[in-house]
């Protein structure tokens, strides 16, 4: 069984805890074992935590779970683009999959709840697909 890890943004902790539950369920269905869950303050810190996990030989992949809401400025969009690019670069650099389960950037509060499960499950499915 392949070991994977989760990097979780704590800014929306209640919602991300729900995402973890869905990710755990999906991992079990995919034959993956979540061995590490690392909480970070927000999505901006996800790339560093992901890099640290990808360095570990026993970790086959990492799923990043979080939410980047739409704000009153373009800060969230710029940050989200930087985070996603960094995660893609890490995936290529370490030759290990990184599942993107970050809702947004630009998520409106009324759209978050319906995306928690599909984003969490898709992040795990992406890891499974790339491991195989």
Q: Which residues are catalytic?
A: 75
Contacts of 10 (CB under 8 A, 6+ apart): 16, 39, 40, 41, 42
Give the pair of three-digit tokens for residue 70: 């739409």
Which ranges in 35-74 belong to alpha helices (H)?
Answer: 46-54
Q: How far apart are CA 108 and CA 46, in angstroms?
A: 21
CB 15 within 8 A of CB 109: no
Q: Helix, strand or coil for residue 99?
A: strand
User: Strand 59-69 vs strand 98-107: parallel, antiparallel, or unpaired?
Assistant: parallel
Cβ 26 vs Cβ 63: under 8 Å: no
């Amino acid at each position: 069984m392949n070991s994977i890890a989760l990097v979780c943004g704590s800014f929306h902790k209640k919602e991300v805890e729900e995402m973890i539950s869905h990710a755990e369920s999906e991992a079990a269905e995919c034959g993956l074992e979540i061995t590490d869950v690392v909480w970070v303050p927000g999505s901006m810190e996800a790339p560093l935590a992901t890099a640290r996990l990808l360095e570990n030989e026993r970790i086959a992949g990492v799923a990043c779970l979080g939410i980047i809401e739409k704000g009153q400025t373009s800060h969230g969009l710029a940050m989200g683009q930087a985070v996603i690019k960094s995660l893609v670069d890490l995936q290529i650099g370490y030759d290990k999959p990184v599942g993107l389960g970050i809702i947004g950037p630009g998520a409106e509060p009324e759209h978050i709840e319906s995306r928690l499960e599909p984003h969490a499950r898709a992040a795990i499915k992406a890891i499974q697909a790339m491991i195989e």
